[in-house]
Chains A and B, each alone.
Chain A
Amino acid sequence: MLRRLLSNDLPRSKVLAVLLIAVLLGLAFAPFVFPGVKALNVAAKILVFIVLVASFDLLLGYTGIVSFAHTMFFGIGAYGIAIAATRMGAGWDAVAVGLACSLAVSLVLALAIGLFSLRVRAIFFAMITLAVASAFQTLASQLSEFTGGEDGLSFRLPEIISPSFEFSEEPFLGVSLDGRLLCYYLLFVVAVVLVLALLRIVNSPFGRVLQAIRENEFRAEAIGYRVVVYRTLSAVLSALFATLAGAMLALWLRYNGPDTSLSFEIMIDVLLIVVIGGMGTVYGAAIGAVLFVVAQSYLQDLLRLGNEAVSGLPWLAALLSPDRWLLWLGLLFVLSVYYFPTGIVGKLRARSSAR
């Protein structure tokens, strides 16, 4: 049963299995174990990032092509919900329409970019996605009557998942049973289903072909697989999952703007999580996302402390300023690509198979 649910892709390492179970349980009971608004926000962000990163890994880790437009699809999903909810009001029909439209837009865009650039060279894909994503970002902030411009859109969602909706007067285990909680569990269920679906995809014969292409494109083509078709399909699938992750984000925040879902920093975060967690493993996305999002919430505090500690030395203080934390992320990123290319999951699996 479990084996079937995980599509035969077991953790293959005791430590990893324990970690994964801890993550699952931690997220499942987050509202009860870690009380407070900030903790719940962190947990919800982790859920969104697990889906986002796992979908990116389908492209980077399994197919071996780099896309810099992943946040574009993430943003399309978030904007889909946001625009539909702003125009049509708070109702499930708005959510459904927004989701359907954004999925359609992502599908068309990903198909066009994929067919266009992957036809020639996989390397073009990285460059073209970068160009398209930056154009899209500018477009989103310029079409302000539609997207709210730089300010973004705040919108209302169905009553049942908004914080003001109370299921019962009595708090259960010290947690008030409101729409916020329901929304969290909605995200949780969606995230679990999507991750299992991704596991199913990468462990299917289709997923094996993707890995074959990653290892040796020429040989895969020689065996008779149309490399372009498989790569494009992978790009499209990954874009669709990213769109769903974006929709999850919009449902949780009830707000969307260019900085929340389209910024290049999110793209860098996603790259870093994939590399740290382990490229080519869906589990890596889960572990990496938890580590990263938690670290993100506290690393900046740590830098602030360091900054204050060395305030006598202006140079060091400038380096340790909380505004410069991207610098440290970048360093971490380069170092992990060098010395840690298989990531946490790869290390753990290698250790347990060596034993």
Chain B
Amino acid sequence: MSLKMDVDWKPLLLVPALALLALPLVGSPSTWLTLTVAGLAMGMIVFIIASGLTLVFGLMDVLNFGHGVFIALGAFVATSVLGVMGDWTQSQSILANLAAVLPAMVVAMLVAGAVGLAFERFIVRPVYGQHLKQILITMGGMIIGEELIKVIWGPAQIPLPLPEGLRGSWLWGDAAVEKYRVLAVVVGALVFGLLAWTLARTKIGLLIRAGVQDREMVESLGYRIRVLFVGIFVAGSALAGLGGVMWGLYQQNVIPQMGAQVNVLIFIVIIIGGLGSTTGALIGALLVGLMANYTGFVAPKVALFSNIALMVAILLWRPQGVYPVAGSR
């Protein structure tokens, strides 16, 4: 999102570099293609979730440890919506399947956004500017949210099967590419495109970028950045809800603890990307997604720490993340 004149290319090269580096380690090109598509799909889903969090931090210096709750919320809402629309999910036609998944996504986003509004009002607003309390309070909000989800949907794991038409995979030569993963990449690319367009081409985007750079200056020019921030928070929560639906479909099941699990990934992503940078979050998410899939195949025991190792390596190179955002503290 930086000026077109001096685009910093080096971080952008990291993603293809990692993919190429993995090719000899994985061995067979067809397996590599399958893993790469899986990694990109996972990365795109993680990006959708992380984009809101990184903007919230960049704009208001608010670190929301409760972001994961919106992921779980979105996924659980989707189980209810898709459960109602059994006819369309069982149908062989992809159009009918999409007609079931789309409302599930929209409802999940609406619910997550609405809860996000309440979360901002009651949990985050009273502790603006106090980092320590923010971390504690949002963590508390996360616990409460997770427990409430258990109260409503029960503590057990709920299956979230893919609609009929989205199951299975396409064969490209020897490589099997799952249909849903391609869909996830497409949705992720759409979200990134929309986000990039909003940030780069609209007045609101201009204000957001300016606010990330220097909040006080934008305020002194007469813009009410708090209102903007509430909007970002709600949009970020809705995106997390959307990401939750996609993550649930990716895993084919949902558990109340999924928010906390994904949260860990997302923190790694936004640290890699540089807090406040959406492009950085995209690169971080893709790196994390690819890394998780490659190491999961090559050395499953190492997979646990591969993302942490990745973060360590990136931070040794650029301590503020790949795209440091000026102005944010």
User: Given A127-B267, A131-B267, A138-B304, do A329 and B143 touch, yes or no (CB 8 Å)?
Assistant: yes
CB distance from A192 to the nearest CB of B (A): 29
Chain A residue at minimal CB-CB distance from B155: A323
CB distance A123 to B131 under 8 Å? yes
User: Given A116-B312, A131-B308, A334-B123, do A126 and B63 touch, yes or no (CB 8 Å)?
Assistant: yes
Partner of B308, one of A60, A64, A135: A135
B150-164 residues at the A interface, CB under 8 angstroms: 150-151, 155
Contacts of B204 in A (CB 8 A): none
CB distance from A139 to the nearest CB of B (A): 6
Instruction: Describe B's contact surface by its main secondary structure.
Output: helix
CB distance A327 to B148 under 8 Å? yes
CB distance from A264 to the nearest CB of B (A): 7
Chain A 290-324 per-residue mask, 1 if CB under 8 angstroms from chain B, else 0:
00000000000000000000000000001100011
CB distance B144 to A334 under 8 Å? yes
CB distance B136 to A124 under 8 Å? no
CB distance A341 to B267 under 8 Å? no
Chain B 295-327 per-residue mask, 1 if CB under 8 angstroms from chain A, else 0:
000000100110110011001000110000000
B116-150 residues at the A interface, CB under 8 angstroms: 123, 126-127, 131-133, 135-137, 139-141, 143-144, 147-148, 150
Interface flag for B263 (CB, 8 Å): yes
Interface size range on A against B: 35 or more
Interface flag for A337 (CB, 8 Å): yes
Contacts of A260 in B (CB 8 A): none
Partner of A64, one of B132, B143, B263, B304: B132
Interface flag for B1 (CB, 8 Å): no
- Bound together, the chains give a CA A134 to CA B264 distance in angstroms of 8
Contacts of B315 in A (CB 8 A): 116, 120
CB distance A268 to B143 under 8 Å? yes
User: Given A120-B319, A126-B63, A327-B144, do A334 and B137 touch, yes or no (CB 8 Å)?
Assistant: yes
Interface flag for B77 (CB, 8 Å): no
CB distance A131 to B268 under 8 Å? yes
Interface flag for B207 (CB, 8 Å): no
CB distance B140 to A128 under 8 Å? no
Contacts of A334 in B (CB 8 A): 123, 137, 140-141, 144
Interface flag for A186 (CB, 8 Å): no
Partner of B135, one of A121, A126, A338, A341: A126
User: Given A120-B319, A130-B263, do A135 and B305 touch, yes or no (CB 8 Å)?
Assistant: yes
Chain A residue at minimal CB-CB distance from B150: A324
Contacts of A349 in B (CB 8 A): none
- Bound together, the chains give a CA A127 to CA B133 distance in angstroms of 15
Chain A 111-140 per-residue mask, 1 if CB under 8 angstroms from chain B, else 0:
000001001111110111011101100110
Among B133, B135, B312, B320, the most chain A Cβ lie within 10 Å of the Cβ of B135
CB distance A318 to B151 under 8 Å? yes
Among B137, B260, B271, the most chain A Cβ lie within 10 Å of the Cβ of B271
Chain B residue at minimal CB-CB distance from A264: B260
Chain B residue at minimal CB-CB distance from A122: B131
Chain A 61-91 per-residue mask, 1 if CB under 8 angstroms from chain B, else 0:
0001010000000000000000000000000
Interface flag for A326 (CB, 8 Å): yes
- Bound together, the chains give a CA A275 to CA B262 distance in angstroms of 27
CB distance B304 to A337 under 8 Å? no
- Bound together, the chains give a CA A119 to CA B307 distance in angstroms of 20
Contacts of B148 in A (CB 8 A): 327
Chain A 264-277 per-residue mask, 1 if CB under 8 angstroms from chain B, else 0:
10001001000100
CB distance B133 to A330 under 8 Å? no
Contacts of A135 in B (CB 8 A): 304-305, 308
Contacts of B135 in A (CB 8 A): 66, 123, 126
Contacts of A132 in B (CB 8 A): 308
Contacts of B139 in A (CB 8 A): 268, 271
B259-290 residues at the A interface, CB under 8 angstroms: 260-261, 263-264, 267-268, 271, 275
Contacts of A127 in B (CB 8 A): 63, 267-268, 271
Among B127, B132, B305, the most chain A Cβ lie within 10 Å of the Cβ of B132
Contacts of A119 in B (CB 8 A): 319
Chain A residue at minimal CB-CB distance from B154: A318
Chain A residue at minimal CB-CB distance from B316: A116
- Bound together, the chains give a CA A120 to CA B319 distance in angstroms of 6
Contacts of B267 in A (CB 8 A): 127-128, 130-131
Chain B residue at minimal CB-CB distance from A274: B136
B contacts, CB < 8 Å to A: 63, 65, 123, 126-127, 131-133, 135-137, 139-141, 143-144, 147-148, 150-151, 155, 260-261, 263-264, 267-268, 271, 275, 301, 304-305, 307-308, 311-312, 315, 319-320, 329
Offer 24 A-B interface pairs, CB within 8 angstroms, sorted by A. Answer: A120-B319, A121-B329, A123-B131, A126-B135, A128-B308, A130-B264, A131-B307, A135-B304, A135-B308, A139-B304, A142-B301, A264-B260, A271-B136, A319-B151, A323-B155, A329-B143, A330-B141, A330-B144, A331-B140, A333-B143, A334-B140, A334-B141, A338-B137, A341-B133
